[in-house]
Amino acid sequence: EAQVTQNPRYLITVTGKKLTVTCSQNMNHEYMSWYRQDPGLGLRQIYYSMNVEVTDKGDVPEGYKVSRKEKRNFPLILESPSPNQTSLYFCASSFQGPRGEQYFGPGTRLTVT
Amino acid sequence: DAKTTQPPSMDCAEGRAANLPCNHSTISGNEYVYWYRQIHSQGPQYIIHGLKNNETNEMASLIITEDRKSSTLILPHATLRDTAVYYCIVPMDSNYQLIWGAGTKLIIKP
């Protein structure tokens, strides 16, 4: 089954404790992206990647890092999480870049205390 | 900022057609209009996209006005499972990344 998976689905952590949210897709898509969603708002893009070893900042990259060492994986790294990074995070992938149909993961709900 | 304007909420009776409007008056000539929906807090789901001709797929129809300044997403026979937030999106000029607004919360009523 074609899908985007994220782990963990739920995470509660404390300020300053480094964490990684993994994202993996099995569709051989070149384009992958991370978004965050806060209550009542649409998605805001954090980082995106057009291909392996190519990453670019989205609208809200501060406090986040990403890497794209292989096509299927695109982990999101919070090196020193803060409470304002409490949010719902989505990973997405697409065959045709941002112009194509994006497939989204189920989301990761992160709480930073 | 999002380049689209949508009503914050709409109701529709089950079995009727749901017509969701979107205004994108600043759209440029080569930008597509994309529609996604999000059920509860699940990952968004792609519905349809178009440039200037009307489009139809198994989920919905997209009607784009001739001047391309607005569009309407049509769910022909709405069911309770179509209750969701619907996002109309036009990409940024510079890098074609999608900018998401707050969308329209569509409630299908029995």
Among the partner-chain residues B46, B98, B102, the one whose CB lies closest to the CB of A40 is B102
φ/ψ of residue B33, rounded to 5: -110, 130
CA A52 to chain CA centroid, Å, is 15
Output helix, strand, coil percentages for chain B, rounded to the nearest 5: 5, 45, 50
Strand stretches in A1-113, DSSP E:
4-7, 10-13, 19-25, 31-37, 43-51, 54-57, 65-66, 76-78, 87-94, 103-104, 108-112
pLDDT in tens, A24-39: 999 999 999 999 999 8
Among the partner-chain residues A48, A103, A106, the one whose CB lies closest to the CB of B42 is A106
Going by C-alpha positions, the residue among B9, B19, B11 that lies closest to residue B76 is B19
Contact A97 B96 (CB under 8 A): yes
Neighbour tally for B2: CB within 10 Å: 17
pLDDT in tens, A45-101: 999 999 999 999 999 999 999 999 999 999 999 999 999 999 999 999 999 888 889
Q: In what order do the strands lie in the sheet with B45-50?
A: B9-13, B104-109, B84-89, B33-38, B45-50
Contact A99 B96 (CB under 8 A): yes
Among the partner-chain residues B2, B41, B91, the one whose CB lies closest to the CB of A42 is B2
Q: Token pair of A83, please? A: 């409470």
Closest Cα in chain B to A47:
B97
Question: What DSSP designation does A99 have?
Answer: G
Contact A98 B44 (CB under 8 A): no
Contact A104 B43 (CB under 8 A): yes
pLDDT in tens, B48-83: 999 988 999 999 999 999 999 999 999 999 999 999
Which pLDDT band, with edges at 50, 70 and 90, does B1 fall under? low
Q: What integer pLDDT is reported at residue B93 of this predicted model?
A: 62
Q: How many CB pairs under 8 A join A and B?
A: 52
